[in-house]
Amino acid sequence: MAGDLLDRTIAVALTPDELIPRGLPTPDLLAHVLVGKFADKLPFNRQQGISAREGVPIARGTMCGWAEAAHKSARLVVKAMTGDAREHAHVIATDATGVLVQANDKCKRGHFWVYVADRDHVIFRYTPVHSKEEPKAFFKGFRGTVLSDASNVYDVLFGLPDSPGEANCWSHARRYFFKALDGEDRDKALIGLGFCNEPFDLERRWKKLPPAKRLELRRQRARPVIEMLERWKDELLDNPHVADGSRLRKALNYLTNQWPALCKFLDDGRVPIHNNESERQLRSLAVGRANWLFVGSDDTAPWTCTFVSLVGSCHLHGIDPGGYLRDLFRVLPVWPKHRLLELSPKHWRATRALLDEAQMALPLGPLTVPPTRPLRDAAVTPA
């Protein structure tokens, strides 16, 4: 008996690569939990109750551990997206919002920042304080155009020979006139609102045009309206009947202070006239914030940034975030670290088409990585 055993060879299979080594969740389950929180805005405690009713109890602490483990790998994809945005984006729109952070005595306040690079990437970042240091760090070396509101935290970005271009948001300018409708200068506020509405009406017609044609039409049709608005604005600012501190004067002062940046779209057909896309991305986060109430700490807030960046980018490209995250978690353990940009939502359709369907259908096991392809030629960035 012992001799028979000595004559035999025992083969031991290699442990398959997994996103969470020896972890319980398959890519499908992990994607289900994270999409539930970061796309469908369901906190882990609610998901715990849902899973218990379905007969599969999963503690929220377990879900937190899964989110942390998935973040460690998925954040590298967002890092690759960030590098691509800094190097190649023509316009990056940005905005920020506050968030409560759990603390021992009472919640403190942190801040989420969003950066929308052309129609390529949505990138969220977190800082404990709202200051110029975050945009200064993010835009270091960026030579495109920054589209933002008039917050003074962005002032540090401009005015130097190697600074990026500055563009401002006409939605913010229009909002000042809308607020002035409740004041004594309602008639004049309506005129200002009409001037601001005209470029938006024109842009809706030109939305699908190439940038060069859009720029040509902006100069023919929008520039005369903007020049009329400037003359009207200057006349009213000289009018003593427009009281200092009135809502109308605030609207006029906003135009004056931001005028060169507001007019940037007249010189570049790829610059949007508004910052609405970044505000829409923040609004999605704000809906989640109303359900989560707070993030756990300054250390765990980046987990949220990672997954809302990927979910937001999926929405930007019309990709189902659940299917994307499932496939992402399947390929990440074996994917070369120097090729992570291929896994971003921007490039995902082309990358997914090269993967073996039979291998991808399995929750784990060998996976053939396709050859490298030229990303800049493979992807077309819409204007």
Report for 6-15, 174-183, 337-346: range of highest mean pLDDT: 337-346
Q: What is the pTM of this model?
A: 0.91
Domain parsing of the chain, residue ranges: 170-272
Q: Pick from 40, 95, 81, 2: which is nearest to 306 by CA?
A: 81
- Backbone phi, psi, residue 307, to 5°: -80, -35
Q: What is the model's pLDDT at position 382?
A: 39
- Backbone phi, psi, residue 301, to 5°: -55, -35
Q: Which residues have C-beta within 8 Å of that of residue 88, sequence separation ≥ 6?
A: 120, 376
Q: What is the model's pLDDT at position 5?
A: 61
pLDDT-derived band at 380 (thresholds 50, 70, 90) equals: very low
Question: Which residues are bridge partners to 92 per DSSP?
Answer: 117, 146
Q: What is the model's pLDDT at position 4?
A: 64
- The strand ranges marked E within 226-360 are none
Task: Please tell me the distance from the alpha carbon of residue 48 to that of residue 59, in angstroms, as a whole number.
Answer: 6
Q: What is the model's pLDDT at position 253?
A: 94
Task: Please tell me the distance from the alpha carbon of residue 305 to that of residue 164, in angstroms, as a whole number.
Answer: 25
Q: Return the minimum-mean-pLDDT range out of 82-96, 204-218, 245-259, 276-290.
A: 276-290
Task: Please tell me the distance from the alpha carbon of residue 102 to that of residue 100, in angstroms, as a whole number.
Answer: 7
Task: Please tell me the distance from the alpha carbon of residue 151 to that of residue 158, in angstroms, as a whole number.
Answer: 13
For 113-148, the DSSP string reads: EEEEETTTEEEEEEESS-STHHHHHHTTT--SEEEE
Average pLDDT over residues 352-372: 93
Q: What is the model's pLDDT at position 3?
A: 59
Task: Please tell me the distance from the alpha carbon of residue 331 to that of residue 309, in angstroms, as a whole number.
Answer: 19
Using the Cα atoms of residue 247, residue 249, residue 253 and residue 259 in order, give the sign of their dihedral.
positive
Contact 70, 19 (CB under 8 A): yes
Q: How many CB atoms lie within 10 A of CB 190?
A: 14
